[in-house]
Structure 1
Amino acid sequence: MLAAPTGSRSIVVGLAIVILIGVAVAAYAPGLDGLFVFDSVERVIRNESLQMSSPDTEQFLAAAYAAQADYPQRGLAYVTLALNYYFAGQQFGPFAFKATNLAIHILNGLLVLILAKLILSRWWQLGVLKSRQDPSFRIVVLAIVAMGLWLLHPIQLTSVLYVVQRMTSLAATWVLAGAIVFVIARARFQEGRRYAFALMSGGVGVCVVLGFLCKQSALLLPAYIAVLELFLFDRGALSSARKRALALYFGDALILPVLLGLAIVLVVPELIVAGYEGREFDMPQRLLTQARVLFFYLGLLLIPDIRRFGLYHDDVVTSTGLFSPGITVVAVLAWAVILVLIVWGARRRQPWAFAATWFLVGHGMESTILPLELVHEHRNYVPSVGIWVAVVYYACVAWEHAGRRRWLVVSVLGVWLLTLAMVSHMRAQSWRSPPVLMETLARHHPDSYRSAVDYAFNSIPLDADLSIRFDAFKRAATLDSRTVVPLIEMAKIATALGNFIADGERVAHSSMDTVPIAELKLLADGEHNARLLATLDELIKGRLSVRSVRTDSVIALISLVDCALNADRECLALRDNSRRWHDSALSNERLPANYAAALQLSVAKILASTGDYDAAVRRAQRAGELAADSLEYRLQEATLYALLQRWDDLTITLDDVESRFPVRANADPRFRNLRGRREIIEKQSSD
């Protein structure tokens, strides 16, 4: 049994922890006031369910169902976001949200310290970690270093400053807590202590449930504890009864859920396959690409080159086959060799094998068959823990054999920690404002469409020459052949220029069919401008009707309609074009039903704005048919009926919504508001 540090050593330990926390705060401080980015805008700022005005049961329930799922998906994380909004004076102040994320990250760092100490202690007890003297203090120091490597690493930045990734960090809190509970309870179980099995079962079970309510990745906790069991405990020393109990435990916690998941995928494959409809890659291509991506992650972890980090990694080339690109087959073969070595290393409880197994298990959900985006840095939040525990183990081995050169081991670790803190601080500096962030992303990732289009939106001054903005969006349009977002912005810029051209009559012109996008130019010439608009119109229709439609393209079309409804001059001028673009997208056979419903509702708004109310209602009803099982779109349908004062249609829709979603509907503030309006109208009618 290892003794806790006492006296002056306790002071040193406490001081080291405080210093690391202080360095972490200083590293992230520049980005705490930065704005919300990417899907944090849609999921947080524009999510009415998070706008808590009083901490009552009704509003807690609304926040828990903010994801619009059939259960409180990520509900615990959403509740914390709603509480952030409430305690920040009922406003979405970035500092409050990001500071809370940083506090969670620091808490997780402390949990990493505890888990690392437990792992290293078990290795010492098993003889894996050798020491000629009592290693208690050394193990604590090593655990603190592991905490520092994990806490300060720049790959963790998006889990702090990218607000919506609180879901990742909160789920990690429960995963780490569950792993700690397991190691403690399992050691007691090994010793024959009472209630150890109950603690092992109940503690881990509670952590899985609470973690799942933050993010589905917490379901990997049973797999993580299987890794801990494999590398930290000697099952041969258990009695037959305890061996059976342990087998039952892992059968219930891991094997049965895995078999159930496989059965569901095999029986209802469309649950997975359907998600690939809006992707430019299929499942085999994703799996091949992930073989390369996992090495990319390892490269980021071990060599923190700031130029390789980013919010977006859509510049990663998809592997369309084993030899396309050629490095794919190398990555696949390398992982095959590593898996064989892991089997060999696991039998000998080698720390490097532990790190590799922990890393692969951590990517078992988001880096395999699920139709998610190919690359995100936050996916390494928990998987990287095992790597740093192994690193400090080998640092200890180096210390034991360094003799008079032990100062070199300390220097390397110190410089590494300092480097990680500096790179994190530099990254946080770029997150202090959207223009700076997007300029940095575009510079570091010149082939990233998202970085290019965000640069065009955020980093070019509004009073800049129109041609500069036009060229920025044109460059973004050349980087992704599916998206229409930059093309729509180019059309708006051309329209704005047309408004300034004295002789720019609104006349029909043939498009410049033979001119590539990269050669399109913005000229202060009425005829050229009209031809340019006609060309952009054809390009947009072509992309929407042939290729798979991107989510941001759907959002851009809807935003264009909303912009026109707000009487923006350029958007109003493109209203007829917008209708054609909507219809082009709706004619696309690859368009998912939820996208089609959203676009039908958008067309309904166009029709309503022109006074064609009956046609608008028909479009809204079609949207309701396409998304009958979506509370979000049904509420949008109901909102349109309320705006058109179609009270009978509103009543029918609200009744249907309440019957389909009895809990979620009543938790949604929009439903309650619409129901309140209907009740007022019914009361007025009866009077």
Structure 2
Amino acid sequence: MKSLNDQKKWQKLAWLFLLGVIFLVYSPGLSGGFIFDDYPNILEDENIILKEISWGEVSRVSQTGTAGPLKRPVAVVSFALNIFFTGMNPWFFKLTNIIIHLLNTLVLGFLIKQLLQVWHRRYGYKKVSNYSQNAFGWVGWLTAAIWALHPFNLTSVLYIVQRMTSLSTFFGLAALALFIQIRNETAWADKVRVQWWSLVSKLVLIILLMLFSVLSKENGLLFLGLMVLVEFFVFRFEIFGKIKYIWNRSFYFWASYGMVVVVASVILWNISFITNPERIYFRDFSTPERLMTEARVLVIYLRDIFMPDISVMSLYHDDIDISRSLLNPVSTIFSIFFLVIVSVFCVCIIKAFPIALFAWLWFLISHSMESTWLPLELMHEHRNYFAIIGFCMAISIGLVTAVRKFGNKLCIAVLGILFVLGSSTFVRSYEWKEPMTMSKMEALRHPKSMRANYQLGRDLLVAFDNGLKDDRVLDEATIAFEQAAKANFPSVGPYFGLLFVEFRRKNSDEEHVNSLVKKIEETLRTKTTEASYPAYIDSLLKCQLASQCRINDMDMLAIMVAAIENKSVFPVQKGEILKMAAQYAVSRGNDWGYAQELAEMAIQQNDSAATRIFYAQILKNRDKRVAAAEQIEIAEKLDDAKIYRELLNREKIILNPDVSQ
């Protein structure tokens, strides 16, 4: 008994040590800044700023998200709370992310210990000894350590906006742990010993946790699939020690049959979309091409999980070649073949090593949303945040088993593995400590990435604007943007960047400026539309209105017309650009009549509250106050999330001073 107590004490110390090491490994990255999608989702979104801590304000902010179909209100509110208490300092945002990662580590350790207890009961002997209980604790600790220190998870922690992923994982893991606890009580326990009120309360809590997981990020829904996976492998639909039968077939059989039917139905329901050879909006690939490419992406993920090499890891993976056919590139067919072989192999050894198939299915289920036919970007490391847990568990079981079999000397090898993982993550974290350092490393490692090179050029311009007034900085920015323009999938963004560089020079080359403007027009008109088109144009408009950029008004109008005339442009984008054109007509030429025409065209393309408010302001300035008031009423109806509540109230007071707030 004394030995068991000593072991528990050592495990507690090990957990404290692990949490300290995790914080130490990630601490260099705390000084880093906002990057990429942090800007539109946090830094540039005034709507997520809480004016006070009240239910009304929290409810309003929760509906302002734009990152997913469900608006991800839980994550958005967490960002808003960060801003309310600590301002826009990225240090505190990243600190919050690290704390969430630490909580996930603790929950994961508890979950794995629980899972191993029931796993051992299914696949091992019935009575679990004290020594086995202690071993389960160490496997849980080691699984959490490998997972938490793995460099592949860094972007899920230090990339601020990916709190959406880590929060979703926290609630999902907690729900899964509670599910295992409930099933352990109901699968094998005596019916009379079950505390029904406790069971019901836990079920309600699981539902709430799953709701919070999905409302943090939609792929939280996949934890339902992981619950089903655990049910199939461990509990097998047993209730109070009995196997239930329907029409002389076990419920396990019918559940297996039902899963096949569900998966087949989902595929058949989406078959027209899956096989559609047309390019996806905002993407340079079709759905079949995406599916073929994802086979290669999954193999790359597996390589980076089992052979982590930070020299190929990156925030940006937009340089990956698209699979245009099974043989273009030829690695496509080999990747598909490899995935099939692994699947067959895991099925063949299921009796001897069921954990192999369990870990493999955990990985595939975790990628079933973001790595299949949904029209998302092709590759992101944060998609593996909870996908690698099954592999970490399988590796930990093997390592702990080896230590028990061959002696504690192998502990040095285990600690060596953790040291390699932790030091790799520390190096990546150190690279993220300062935006310029990170940008240079990202561009160095992925020279064919448009985003990596564009980010470097953008950071160099920021450095120039913040006091580093040296033409060599502008020369470096030019090289970065030119490299971005040569990327695998060129964008119009680098040409905007080159234009911004040119206008920062003391003597800009007018001929070069005209050449860039023509290139921007051509690209906007002919290239497949990017989601960033309105953002690029908006940046140029602000630069123009601030007199930093010096494009003549006809060229500015030509740029906007080129974007609108693109056949692949979305109505929402077209509406945004038309609204920008209307605002430009007012700001530069005080042409309210032309602005009204453009605003009416914008409403036809994208009828939004913001556009209606601007249209009302135009009508008001043209002395059409009754029509303006009607537009404000329409805007109020369109403003479901109450984002423009204060602005609408101000406009109503201006139109009718007798109207009270």
Normalization by structure 2: what TM-score?
A: 0.89
Please give the secondary structure, in 2, of the residue aligned with 1:439: helix
| Aligned residues of 2:98 and 2:157 also touching (Cα < 8 A) | yes
Distance 1:645 1:114 in 2: 67
Distance 2:314 2:230 in 1: 32
Correspondences of 1:455-604 after superposition (within 5 Å): 455-459=456-460, 461-462=463-464, 463-465=469-471, 466-479=474-487, 482-497=490-505, 500=507, 529-568=509-548, 571-604=549-582
Distance 2:519 2:254 in 1: 59
Distance 1:443 1:277 in 2: 30
Question: Which blocks of at least 5 consecutive residues in structure 2 are unaligned?
Answer: none
Cα deviation per residue 1:232-260 (whole Å; 9 max; x = unaligned)? 22446524279999779979x98998688
Q: Indicate the residue corresponding to 1:172 in structure 2.
A: 169
Equivalent position to 2:605, from 604, 623, 626? 626
Residues 633/375 of structure 1: CA separation in 2 closer, same or farther (3 Å cut): farther
Shift in Å, 1:625: 1.8
Distance 2:428 2:154 in 1: 8
| Aligned residues of 1:601 and 1:637 also touching (Cα < 8 A) | no
Question: Which blocks of at least 5 consecutive residues in structure 1 are unaligned?
Answer: 502-528
Cα deviation per residue 1:6-25 (whole Å; 9 max; x = unaligned)? 52222211110011100111
Shift in Å, 1:349: 5.8
Shift in Å, 1:538: 2.4
Shift in Å, 1:263: 7.7
2:94 pairs with 1:98: yes
Residues 85/496 of structure 1: CA separation in 2 closer, same or farther (3 Å cut): closer
Distance 2:615 2:277 in 1: 28
Correspondences of 1:432-451 after superposition (within 5 Å): 432-451=433-452
Please give the secondary structure, in 2, of the residue aligned with 1:577: helix
Distance 1:336 1:98 in 2: 39
2:120 pairs with 1:127: no
Shift in Å, 1:636: 6.2
Residues 535/140 of structure 1: CA separation in 2 closer, same or farther (3 Å cut): same
CA RMSD of aligned residues (A): 3.4
Q: Indicate the residue corresponding to 1:678 in structure 2.
A: 652
Q: Indicate the residue corresponding to 1:422 in structure 2.
A: 423
Shift in Å, 1:138: 1.4
Please give the secondary structure, in 1, of the residue aligned with 2:377: coil
Equivalent position to 1:48, from 40, 46, 49? 46
2:28 pairs with 1:30: yes
Distance 2:303 2:229 in 1: 23
Correspondences of 1:340-489 after superposition (within 5 Å): 340-346=344-350, 350-402=354-406, 406-407=408-409, 409-459=410-460, 461-462=463-464, 463-465=469-471, 466-479=474-487, 482-489=490-497
Give 1:598's aligned amino acid. E
Equivalent position to 1:151, from 148, 151, 160? 148
Cα deviation per residue 1:598-625 (whole Å; 9 max; x = unaligned)? 1111111221121221111221222222
Q: Indicate the residue corresponding to 1:138 in structure 2.
A: 135
Correspondences of 1:281-292 after superposition (within 5 Å): 281-292=285-296
Distance 1:445 1:256 in 2: 42
Distance 1:291 1:645 in 2: 61
Shift in Å, 1:41: 1.1
Correspondences of 1:267-278 after superposition (within 5 Å): 276-278=280-282
Residues 426/641 of structure 1: CA separation in 2 closer, same or farther (3 Å cut): farther
Residues 174/390 of structure 1: CA separation in 2 closer, same or farther (3 Å cut): same
Q: Indicate the residue corresponding to 2:227 in structure 1.
A: 225
| Aligned residues of 1:436 and 1:459 also touching (Cα < 8 A) | no
Cα deviation per residue 1:412-435 (whole Å; 9 max; x = unaligned)? 221111111111111111111211
- How many residues matched? 643
Distance 1:200 1:343 in 2: 34
Shift in Å, 1:31: 1.1
Shift in Å, 1:231: 1.9
Identical residues among aligned pairs (%): 25
| Aligned residues of 1:226 and 1:250 also touching (Cα < 8 A) | no
| Aligned residues of 1:189 and 1:197 also touching (Cα < 8 A) | no
Distance 1:324 1:607 in 2: 48
Shift in Å, 1:115: 1.3
Cα deviation per residue 1:553-594 (whole Å; 9 max; x = unaligned)? 4311111112222232xx233543222111111111111112
Please give the secondary structure, in 2, of the residue aligned with 1:541: helix
| Aligned residues of 1:561 and 1:605 also touching (Cα < 8 A) | no
| Aligned residues of 1:596 and 1:623 also touching (Cα < 8 A) | yes
Normalization by structure 1: what TM-score?
A: 0.86
Cα deviation per residue 1:646-674 (whole Å; 9 max; x = unaligned)? 7555433332233344x41x2x1x33223
| Aligned residues of 1:27 and 1:422 also touching (Cα < 8 A) | yes
Give 2:316's aligned amino acid. Y
Cα deviation per residue 1:25-47 (whole Å; 9 max; x = unaligned)? 11111111211111111111122
Residues 677/138 of structure 1: CA separation in 2 closer, same or farther (3 Å cut): same
Please give the secondary structure, in 2, of the residue aligned with 1:307: coil
Residues 323/650 of structure 1: CA separation in 2 closer, same or farther (3 Å cut): farther
Cα deviation per residue 1:351-396 (whole Å; 9 max; x = unaligned)? 1111111000000000011111111111111111111000011113
Shift in Å, 1:292: 0.8
Residues 388/458 of structure 1: CA separation in 2 closer, same or farther (3 Å cut): same
Please give the secondary structure, in 1, of the residue aligned with 2:88: coil
Q: Indicate the residue corresponding to 1:303 in structure 2.
A: 307
Equivalent position to 2:6, from 8, 11, 16? 8
